[in-house]
Structure 1
Amino acid sequence: MTRRIVVDTDTGIDDAHTLLYLAGRPDAEIVAITSVFGNCEEEDAVRNIGHVNRLIGLDVPVARGAAEPLAGTANIAGHVHGKDGLGDRGYHRPLPPVTGESAAELLVRLAAEQPGELDLLALGPLTNLAAALRLDPELFTRYRSVVLMGGSGPYAPPGTLLMIDANVHNDPAAARAVFAAPRNELVMVGVNVTGTTILDERAIGALRAAGTPRARFATEILDSYLDFYQNEWGRRIIPLHDPLAAGILLDPGFATASMYGPVNIRSDGFLSRARLMRTHDGLPPAFPYEPAPDTRVITAVDAPRFVADFVEALTQ
């Protein structure tokens, strides 16, 4: 069965990889794309959408979204994805044709026109989704599912450290609105699992050797991403953050364990995270928390199987 997907993206390197992955999966149809700030400025995000769409031959509605969070200023990850979001390779990236509506308006209109038929895949800060909920508080009940790359899972075992939950940290107020909203199904694919899904040297070598336009582009844009992550592991490897969320949307079997419960946005004074209000062994936390509808929170994945599927989709 083909999943018809609306993608909301702050089009950096792993977002571009996600669009390539979806284009390579026969059971996925991208029906619209919306842009948001995050990995790069919003204008770069929409330019990158246009660039990837031309590469994969995709002609779908594109709507421009938020350039900054609901409160505060944007935190742009140029040190990770390059200033332009695609590793500063110097690509010619003209602005693509866009609809006359905002990202939020497009998300609401499509759900109203095709209730229960579309899945929403959110790959960046959740600002556009929060803005759409202001227009239609029941929005998520009109999507078949909402799958987002963000969050940190349940509280980790003592002594465990996690990667930054960047998409939530970049707009915690928007994330709070999203996790509080009524929904059919909301799936959180957080850094607790994306950080374990590694595109290693062998897999990168397979992409380089493929020679197809999609695989060539996927490896061209990797350098700045590899430069960043080599400081984490001492190896030129990367986690497949956003692609994993797309993979789980298409094949829930990539997730080998999950928990259900309320998600709250918590800050330690420096970083904000979306946390399932459970400890790693399923107990409630030792403090009061806000009630919220249940979110399906992914806690373990079959990383080798997903990485093999990702490479196959980009090299076939």
Structure 2
Amino acid sequence: MSQVRRVVVDTDTGIDDAHTLLYLAGRPDAEIVAISSVFGNCLEEDATRNIGYVTRLLGLEVPIARGAAEPIAGVAHIAGYVHGKDGLGDRGYDRPLPEVTGESGAELLVRLAHERPGELDLLALGPLTNLGLALRIDPELFTRYRSVVLMGGSGPYAEPGTLLMIDANVNNDPEAARAVFAAPRNELVMVGVNVTAGTILDERAIAALRAAPGSRARFAVEILETYLDFYQNEWGRRIIPLHDPLAAGILLDPAFATAWTDGPVNVVTDGFLARARLMRTVDGLPPAFPHEPAPPTRVVTNVDATRFVADFVEVLSR
């Protein structure tokens, strides 16, 4: 077994975030150390309630901190139309607020990094607001984490004529994202929509989860329905992309990423949406306009989706 990764999870606990917590808890090479909430897939309070529900299901007792309820600047865009108003598909689960540490999400991220420098990995699954606020407390924060892996970004500039899914986590707080990509770090890994959108939990994989025994697989399938309702409008099939779980998979097993590029990432906008982009074209050239210098980010550009999906289903089916 590979070395255990001790993971601090920052999450806007929607459906694929909950799947990610199930996946991490089922991997013998992962230990969830603490969890902070943030707005995004649902309101921050619902994200916290969902953390409590999932950790109780898992029998997991870890520190939980309530994080940002809105972006550093601008207006929050809550994705209730994707994840249900409560973030877990509006299934009517009993979701009391869990016991929390009393510190903010940003303060939790800073405290743990100072208490255990070089030991922890930070996995960011939602808007980057808590990370941006934490960097205001400690600008060297990311140098104290073993690595920071985030689900967000859009990779390098795409092939002309190609459209990508919205980079929702960056678009929800571009100011925080700019701070994250500019900060000094040991290792920052961007797992963006350029690779997550094609990592598909298809009908066969969903059927395997439905057939699996146990409360974890049953819960994973229960919360899928609202997600499937949304994504059927994209592809005409009741299938979903594994956005957040893929980021966790790459944190634990970097070989799931079969190609990447290290380079500067900028947050750019077309006046409508903000995206985090590697400042490279599909041909590996700099973009045709000036961009800001930044420390290198490891930007994943291709993944072994088949192997990851098989692993995800196997872990949740145990």
Question: When the two structures are superposed, what TM-score results if normalisation uses the length of structure 2?
Answer: 0.99
Measured after TM superposition, the shift of residue 281 of structure 1 is: 1.5
1:41 aligns with 2:18: no
Paired position in structure 2 for 1:170: 172
Distance 1:45 1:212 in 2: 24
Which residue of the other structure, out of 41, 50, 57, is the alignment partner of 2:52?
50
Distance 1:277 1:39 in 2: 28
Question: Match for 1:315: what amino acid?
Answer: S
Distance 1:281 1:243 in 2: 28
Paired position in structure 1 for 2:91: 89
Secondary structure in 1 matching 2:292: coil
Question: Match for 1:232: what amino acid?
Answer: E
Paired position in structure 1 for 2:250: 248
Paired position in structure 2 for 1:14: 16
Paired positions, count: 316
Measured after TM superposition, the shift of residue 36 of structure 1 is: 0.1
1:78 aligns with 2:80: yes
Paired position in structure 2 for 1:149: 151
Distance 1:100 1:233 in 2: 43
Distance 2:301 2:120 in 1: 25
1:239 aligns with 2:241: yes
Distance 1:118 1:280 in 2: 33
Measured after TM superposition, the shift of residue 212 of structure 1 is: 1.2
Paired position in structure 2 for 1:102: 104
Paired position in structure 1 for 2:287: 285
Measured after TM superposition, the shift of residue 211 of structure 1 is: 2.3
Deviations 1:43-81 (A, max 9, x none): 000000000000011000000000000011210000000
Which residue of the other structure, out of 103, 114, 117, is the alignment partner of 2:116?
114
Distance 2:32 2:25 in 1: 8
Distance 2:192 2:276 in 1: 9
Question: Match for 2:302: what amino acid?
Answer: A
Secondary structure in 2 matching 1:273: strand
Distance 1:103 1:265 in 2: 23
Which residue of the other structure, out of 275, 282, 287, is the alignment partner of 2:277?
275
Secondary structure in 1 matching 2:7: strand
Secondary structure in 2 matching 1:229: helix
Secondary structure in 2 matching 1:175: helix
Comparing 204-213 with 29-38, which one deviates more in the overlay? 204-213
Which residue of the other structure, out of 191, 194, 212, is the alignment partner of 1:192?
194
**In percent, how many aligned pairs have the same letter?**
84
Distance 2:213 2:28 in 1: 20
Measured after TM superposition, the shift of residue 288 of structure 1 is: 0.1
1:219 aligns with 2:221: yes
Secondary structure in 1 matching 2:97: coil
Which residue of the other structure, out of 132, 135, 139, is the alignment partner of 1:133?
135
Secondary structure in 2 matching 1:147: strand
Distance 1:281 1:99 in 2: 47
**RMSD of aligned alpha carbons:** 0.4
